[in-house]
Amino acid sequence: MTDRVSELDQALTVPADPTAAAFFDVDNTVMRGASIWHLALGLWRRDFFTARDVSSMAWKQLRFAALGESLDHVEKIREQALGFIAGHSVAEIGAIGEEIFDEAMHDKIWPGTQALTRMHLDEGQEVWLVTATPVEVAQVIADRLGLTGALGTVAESVDGVYTGRLAGEPLHGAAKATAIEAMAAERGFDLSRCSAYSDSANDIPMLSLVGHPCAINPDGALRDHARANGWTIRDYRTGRRAARVGVQAVGATALAGALAAAAARRRSR
């Protein structure tokens, strides 16, 4: 019986495919909204910063969900995020990131995108997240989803404590393509056999690098580019966009008010 089970396991095992890999953006591609927003909200709940900071982040999250990302948007979020973690240890933020994923990010994962990651894994391919999100957060997401690993923006640390500065540039736009090229050279990937997925026109360099690009929940510019170039388009969003944005606006306003009220109650204690 043991030999038969062993033979069955061998028959069902998919051999590794070392020349192909899949690369996924995170925000609005793997999960709804901006992962840094969920991190910021979780840190607020742990008294890292004020309700005013979260109110500002809420409106950035709303704009991101409604209009897609921009370089200016990413820069502002980056500056805020670095300020939040300065002086805290890498181990502390890593542990908190795991808690926040379980609390707030898990149910934001797009089932359709997760199914795509499983498809590539089942084909014996490596699957990497490639994102401007802090690498510690990206790695938590990758670990929780059973992916190979993550490339993300690296915050500088000295003796295990964050300085509030970056170690290099944000992993955004063309920088993602550069990072993937370096990884392909190191790990022997054939980029013509690789796949990439993103929602944003800012990731056209990354998508153009591989043989199998796919626009997921694309912004208008990426949708137009994908159609013009015959790329696959997958949209897991439901309902009319205007209705969705309207609900998000109400939610962001309510959240900002609730946080302000909570802060006032804290001050009065």
Catalytic residue at 27?
A: yes
Q: List alpha helices for the chain, DSSP H.
A: 2-12, 35-45, 51-67, 71-85, 90-100, 111-122, 135-145, 174-187, 204-209, 220-229, 241-268
| Contact call for residues 211 and 194 (beta carbons, < 8 A) | yes
| Calpha distance 137→182 (Å, rounded) | 22
Rounded Cα distance, 83 and 199, in Å: 27
Annotated catalytic residue, options 3, 27, 190, 224: 27
Q: Exposure string (b/e) for 164-189, b if CB count within 10 Å is 16 or more?
A: beeeeebbbbebbbebbeebbeeeeb
List, as one string, the DSSP characters of 196-210: EEES-GGGHHHHHHS
Whether 203 is a known active-site residue: answer no
Q: Can you say whether the dihedral through the CA atoms of 180, 181, 182, 186 is positive or negative?
A: positive
Asked whether 74 and 132 are in contact (CB, 8 A), the reply is yes
Catalytic one of 17, 25, 53, 72:
25
At 20, list the tokens. 């192909």
Provide the annotated active-site residues. 25, 27
